[in-house]
Amino acid sequence: MSEITAEQVAHLAHLARIDLSPLEITDLTHDLGQIVDSIAKVSEVATADTPATSHPMPLTNVFRDDVVVPSLTVEQALSGAPDRAGDKFRVPAILDEE
């Protein structure tokens, strides 16, 4: 078993911005331990001289001319927002008062 702890899962959940219940943390700690044990085998064949591949097709940067093209209207862009204030997305406070 790899040594994934409940504290570690709680920390990861915080990094990923997902509140987890204590039960979810227990379950995930178990699942993750099992999954990580199974996938750790990648290191068996990943030798230092093997180059990494991040993308299936070799690609270079794709550019286009810097010209205005049709895009979403303000109404369209805001159409799915859970909250808005005029022509802007309304968000909760960014900074905590504490």
Residue 88 C-beta: closest distance to other proteins, Å: 11
Residue 58 C-beta: closest distance to other proteins, Å: 10
Instruction: Tell me the C-alpha distance between 88 and 33, whole Å.
Output: 43
- C-alpha distances (whole Å) from 38 to each of 31, 34, 41 are 11, 6, 7
Instruction: Tell me the C-alpha distance between 84 and 69, whole Å.
Output: 25
Q: Looking at 22, 68, 72, 86, which residue binds other proteins (CB under 8 A)?
A: 72
Q: Looking at 1, 57, 67, 68, which residue binds other proteins (CB under 8 A)?
A: 57
Q: Looking at 7, 66, 86, 98, which residue binds other proteins (CB under 8 A)?
A: 98
79 binds other proteins per the rule CB under 8 A: yes
Instruction: Tell me the C-alpha distance between 10 and 16, whole Å.
Output: 10
User: Under a CB-based contact definition with an 8 Å cutoff, are residues 25 and 9 in contact?
Assistant: yes
Residues forming contacts to other proteins in the complex (CB under 8 A) are 4, 8-9, 12-21, 24, 27-28, 31-32, 34-36, 38-47, 50-57, 59, 62, 64, 72, 76-77, 79-83, 89, 91-98
